[in-house]
Amino acid sequence: MTTQTDGVYDRQPLIAGNWKMNLDHAEGVALVQKLAWTLDDAKNFDHARVQVAVFPPATDLRSVQTLVAGDKLKLAYGGQDLSDQDSGAFTGDISGAFLKKLDCAFVLVGHSERRTIHGESDELCARKVAAAYRHGLTPILCVGEGLEVRQAGTHVDYTLEQLRGSLAGVSAEDAASLVVAYEPVWAIGTGEVAGPEDAQEMSAAIRAELERLYGEETARKVRILYGGSVKAANAAAILAERDVDGVLVGGASLKAEEFANIARFEDHVAS
Ligand SMILES: O=C(CO)COP(=O)(O)O
189 is in an annotated binding site: yes
Exposure string for 169-190, b = 16+ CB within 10 A, e = fewer? ebeeebbbebbbbbbbbbbbee
pLDDT beneath 50, residues of the chain? 270-271
The answer on whether 87 is annotated among ligand-binding residues is no
Strand pairing report for 51-55 and 76-79: parallel
Q: Give, for ligand 1, the residue of 14, 20, 145, 190 to mutate: max count of ligand atoms closer than 8 Å to Cβ.
A: 20
Q: What is each CA distance from 118 to 112, 235, 252, in whole angstroms? A: 9, 29, 24
What is the percentage of the chain residues whose pLDDT exceeds 90? 90
Give, for ligand 1, the residue of 80, 248, 253, 259 to mutate: max count of ligand atoms closer than 8 Å to Cβ.
Answer: 248
Residue 200 CB neighbour total at 10 angstroms = 19
ipTM of this complex prediction, to 2 decimal places: 0.99
> Which long-range contacts does 230-237 make (Cβ < 8 Å, 24+ apart)?
230/193, 230/262, 231/193, 231/258, 231/262, 232/258, 232/261, 232/262, 232/265, 232/268, 234/193, 235/261, 235/262, 235/265, 235/268, 236/265, 236/266, 236/268, 236/269, 237/196
pLDDT tens digits, residue range 140-158?
A: 999 999 999 999 999 999 9
**Is residue 230 lining ligand 1, measured as CB closer than 6 Å?**
yes
CA of 6 to the centre of ligand 1 (A): 33
pLDDT of residue 80: 98
Rounded to the nearest angstrom, the distance between the alpha carbon of 204 and the centre of ligand 1 is 21
Q: Is the CB of 251 under 6 A from ligand 1?
A: yes
Quote the CA–CA distance of 8 and 46 in Å, as a whole number.
12
The minimum-distance atom of ligand 1 relative to the CA of 251 is 9
CA 149 / ligand 1 centre spacing (Å) = 19
Instruction: Write out the catalytic residue numbers.
Output: 111, 183
Q: How far is the CA of 226 from the centre of ligand 1 (A)?
A: 10
